[in-house]
Amino acid sequence: MKHAFLSIPATLAALAAAPAHAASGPFFSLYNTDFVVLIAFVLFLAVLFYFKVPSKVGAMLDKRAVEIRSELDEAKALREEAQTLLASYERKQKEVEEQSRRIVETARTEAQAAAEQAKEDIRNSIARRLKGAEDQIASAEAKVIRDMRDRAVTVAIAAATEVISKKMGAAEGNALIDQSVRTVEAKLH
C-alpha cells in the first residue's frame, strides 16, 4: 500500500511534465490524461458516496438551515417584542406628557386663584384696618367730647357756685347747689 501512494506522486509528476503527449492516442488508455482524470474523478465521487459524504453534508446543511430558521424565528420574536415595548414606551411617554401638561395647567390655575385670593385678602385686611382706625378715631373723638363736656360741666359748676355764693346766702346757696347737682346727675345718666 505504501508503494501505491509513492507511485501516485511520481505518476502525477510524469503526467504533468508532458501534457501535450498525454492527450494523444486512444481515449481508453492510461496514457491519455483525460481518461486518467475521468477515472480519478469517478473514483473520487465513489469514495464520497461510499463514505456517505453527500448525505452527511446534506444533513449538516439541513441542521444549519434549521438553526438559521430557529435564529430567524427568534430574531422575529425579539423584533416583535421590541416593537411592542417601543409602542408601550411611546404610550407611556404620551401619558406622561399629558399628565405633566395637566399638572402645569393645574399649577397655573391654582397660582392664579392664589393670587386672586391674596389680593382679596389684602383688600379685606386693608378694609379691616381702615375700619379699626375709623373706630379708634371715633372712640377718641367721643372720649374727647365726653372729657370736654365733663370739664365744661365742672367749670360751669365751679363758676355757678362762686357766683351764687357771692349773691346768695348760705341757705339759698345750699338749696340751689343741691338742685343743680340733681339736674346734672339726671342729665349725665
Question: Domain residue spans in the chain?
Answer: 2-51, 81-188
> Residue 168's pLDDT is what?
67
> Residue 123's pLDDT is what?
92
> Residue 175's pLDDT is what?
78
- Which residues are CB-neighbours of 189 under 8 A, at least 6 positions away? none
More confident residue, 148 or 77: 77
Residue 187 identity (one-letter amino acid): K
Backbone torsions φ then ψ of 102, nearest 5 degrees: -65, -40
> Residue 40's pLDDT is what?
94
* Span of 102-111, 166-175, 178-187 with lowest mean pLDDT: 166-175
More confident residue, 158 or 45: 45
- Which residues are CB-neighbours of 188 under 8 A, at least 6 positions away? 153
Report the SS3 class of residue 29: coil
pLDDT of 55 > 60? The answer is yes
> Residue 179's pLDDT is what?
82
Across the range 75-88, mean pLDDT stands at: 95
Mean pLDDT, the chain, rounded, equals 83
More confident residue, 18 or 178: 178
CA quadruple 77, 81, 82, 87: dihedral positive or negative? positive
